[in-house]
Structure 1
Amino acid sequence: MTGDSLPSDKQMRLRYAGTCHRCGASLPAGVLAVYERDARRVRCISCSESGRDDENSAGDVDLGTAGASARREYERRQSSREERIRKKYPKLSGVILALSDEPQSTSAWKQGAIGEELLAQRLSTLPESVRTLNDRRIAGTRANIDHIVIAPSGVWVVDAKRYRDRRPELQVTGGILRQRSESLRIGGRDGTRLVEGVTAQVAHVRNALADPQLPVTGALCFLEADWPLLGGSFVVDGVHVLWPRLLVKQIRSGPDRKIDVDAVSARLAKAFPVA
């Protein structure tokens, strides 16, 4: 190791082109550089030998914490409910809180946070050439993007859903005499709103990249769902509907388009800050 290299850093010849997170220099595949395993980013040898502190470098990318904003909202709602009950029933509040269930509108935030956290664990098994931005805020809206995965094959916009024991299905209507129509059903219920949400997120990411040559794919990833033993995944209105293991497999198996993962990650991290 040289300069300020840490035990988790590795000096190596890059398998993929990248960008030094400190100085912004382009690093072509095959060049000697330092790979920072914990942050999953690279820096050039010159910056390593200079010994400069990179903690507040403008090139740093905050990968975010999966489920952080959903967990904050859950804790806010939980605390607000507890406070209301204690004020209204000062003597019985402890019993009421112990015996009553949280409203579904509150517990849904907790389930959402857990789903994002579980999916982030699965995404962490992707190759070192991949970056994942977690829990990103869409400026000017109240919406978040759960995960943006930047791989050599392209960008994936992923919405995590933890719908336990409910089966996602593709419903097809129409055909020969009527216009064919496809929709998402989850445990028999209409899931059109979820598909539309991912479609809107994909549009935001494409606009931020402003590069029509860079593929952006939307995905609804269902955790702990009632998937069939054979098949089960499908695409509806351009959005992939699948489970975590298959999502990781598809990201891995995509064609290598020689995308500068570090540069794209930095651009998207700036456009979509941590929520």
Structure 2
Amino acid sequence: MTIRNSAAAQAAELRANARRGVWQRLLAALGVRTGRVRRADAVAARWEHGAAGEAETARLVAALESQGWAIRHDLRMPGSRANLDHLLISPCGTAVVVLDSKHWHRGRTTTLVGGRVHCGADDRQDQVDAVARYAARVSRTLDLPGVVVWPLLVVHGSPIAGGRLEARAPGWGGVVHVLGPARLVPTLAAAPKAHDPVRAAAVVARVDRVLLPYVPRPRQVR
């Protein structure tokens, strides 16, 4: 299965834009990197770092399709410029998982400090809050009674203290699960085993109708 990856596309677009024009192409042919190209490459590298985490998550959750999960990647967030990295619909049709991929520093442990998620000394709570906001918006957009939306953050690179964390976010009544990749599929696979193909198909149809593929806007670096 081919996975669309807007982060990788953004990186490629940044690199290409910085090298457009006769002068830029000539310099590139001579092996000269201008300040504009160096800045674009630095930003593109960060996008590519995130894209690697998204691609690895997509590879991992693909195993759930054989268990009846429906999986979508890189969807447009209604009313926002943000995108949803991954969205999963349970086989029983009663749960939708909003899954965000992150790639944090491999040499720093992700922990809860004073109720806030940190990677080493860096406060990353804003990214937990963001996935909770995404889940709330998805829930409102789907507007499906009896369907629970779960926000989940999977962190590549940085080890998670204790293997998993349960974080809180403003305005979100439940928890945001923060997991490492090794815990991701077992956690989802442990969800209720009941299958309701008719109900699940109705949720999938609703998702496909209101959550469209994400089309990134080209970014310019000057």
Length-normalised TM-score, structure 2:
0.79
How has the CA–CA distance of structure 1 residues 91 and 211 changed in structure 2, closer, same or farther, with 3 Å as cutoff?
closer
Aligned to 1:79: 16
Instruction: Give the letter aligned to residue 95 of structure 1.
Output: G
Matched, 1:224 2:161: no
Greater per-residue helix proportion:
2
Aligned to 2:181: 244
How has the CA–CA distance of structure 1 residues 94 and 212 changed in structure 2, closer, same or farther, with 3 Å as cutoff?
farther
1:89 Cα deviation (Å)? 8.8
Q: Is the deviation greater in 112-121 or in 89-98?
A: 89-98
Length-normalised TM-score, structure 1:
0.65
Structure 1 gaps, min length 5 = 1-37, 39-63, 173-181
Structure 2 gaps, min length 5 = 169-174, 215-222
Secondary structure, aligned partner of 1:254:
coil
Q: Report percent identity of matched pairs.
A: 25
Does the aligned pair in 1 maintain the 2:102–2:156 contact within 8 Å? Answer: yes
Instruction: Give the letter aligned to residue 3 of structure 2.
Output: T
How has the CA–CA distance of structure 1 residues 91 and 170 changed in structure 2, closer, same or farther, with 3 Å as cutoff?
closer
Distance 2:139 2:44 in 1: 32
Please point out which of 51, 55, 65 is paired with 1:113.
Answer: 51
Secondary structure, aligned partner of 1:142:
coil
1:140 Cα deviation (Å)? 2.4
Distance 2:88 2:110 in 1: 23
How has the CA–CA distance of structure 1 residues 72 and 91 changed in structure 2, closer, same or farther, with 3 Å as cutoff?
closer
Q: CA RMSD in A?
A: 2.6
Aligned to 1:65: 3
Matched, 1:160 2:98: no
Secondary structure, aligned partner of 2:81:
coil
How has the CA–CA distance of structure 1 residues 168 and 256 changed in structure 2, closer, same or farther, with 3 Å as cutoff?
same
Q: Deviations over 1:225-253 (max 9, x none)?
A: 2345xx23111111110012312111111
Structure of higher CA gyration radius: 1
1:210 Cα deviation (Å)? 1.6
Q: Which has the higher contact order (CA 8 A, sep 6+)?
A: 2
Secondary structure, aligned partner of 1:83:
coil
Q: Deviations over 1:152-182 (max 9, x none)?
A: 352111001122403211112xxxxxxxxx1
Instruction: Give the letter aligned to residue 87 of structure 2.
Output: I
Please point out which of 210, 215, 220 is paired with 2:148.
Answer: 215
Does the aligned pair in 2 maintain the 1:74–1:110 contact within 8 Å? Answer: yes
